[in-house]
Amino acid sequence: MIKYFFAKASSIVEDHRIKAEKDAKFIKLQDKRIEEFLEDRENTIIGAHEDRRSRCKHWKEEIALDKKFDIKLAKLMEKYFTK
């Protein structure tokens, strides 16, 4: 009976060890996948966001130039056509 108890306890301990090893492998794999995701996110999403911000800045500059042009044109038209 005692031999059976120790054999059963040994089997339970071995099962827990195997499960712990599987869990550790799973966690390690998940950590690797998260690192890959963060790296990929850095290269794609954040890079695209920076490109978008750059384009927005460019368009803001274009709009400012257009506004200056419109003001100058309005003054010129006012000078010659409002008498």
pLDDT, average across residues 1-17: 74
Percent of the chain clearing pLDDT 90 (strictly above): 40
pLDDT at residue 42, rounded to an integer: 84
- Whole-prediction pTM: 0.47
**pLDDT in the model for residue 27:** 96
Angle at the Cα of 35 from the Cα atoms of 30 and 39, rounded to 5 degrees: 145
- Residue 82 predicted with pLDDT over 80: no
Most distant CA pair in the chain, distance: 118
pLDDT in tens, 24-53: 999 999 999 999 998 888 888 888 888 888
d(CA 59, CA 51): 12
Residue located via tokens 């790296």: 39
Q: Which amino acid is at 79?
A: K
Structure tokens at 82: 């409002």
